[in-house]
């Protein structure tokens, strides 16, 4: 999972992330800017603010591909 966020940071890409919040499964679109072994720091487009998420709660993450003209 960490590798996906690292690649997104290198390519300045957005990520679609699915994670656990309590007993809920939440989907967010984020733009990561720092990742460690435990956390990912990012901009959350749903909340429109910088957020920190624990990697242990992330169920899945996928880089969002964009068209380049």
Is 28 a domain residue? yes
Is 69 contained in some domain?
A: no
Buried b (16+ CB within 10 A) or exposed e, 12-40: ebbbebebeeeeeeeebebbbeebeeeeb
- pLDDT tens-digit series, residues 16-69: 999 999 999 999 999 999 999 999 999 999 999 999 999 999 999 999 987 664
Question: Which residue range forms the structural domain that includes residue 57?
Answer: 2-63
CA pair distance 35, 69, nearest whole angstrom? 29
Q: 3-class SS at 61?
A: strand
pLDDT score for 1: 82
Between the CA of residue 3 and those of 9, 51, 61, 68, what are the distances in Å? 10, 19, 10, 23
Q: What's the whole-model pTM score?
A: 0.85
- Assess if residue 8 is contained within a domain: yes
pLDDT of residue 68: 64
């Amino acid at each position: 999972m960490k590798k996906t966020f690292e690649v997104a940071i290198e390519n300045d890409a957005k990520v679609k992330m699915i994670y656990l919040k309590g007993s809920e499964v939440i989907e967010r679109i984020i733009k990561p800017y720092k990742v460690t072994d435990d956390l990912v720091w990012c901009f959350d487009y749903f909340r429109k603010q910088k957020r920190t998420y624990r990697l242990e709660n992330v169920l899945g993450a996928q880089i969002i591909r964009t068209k380049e003209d």
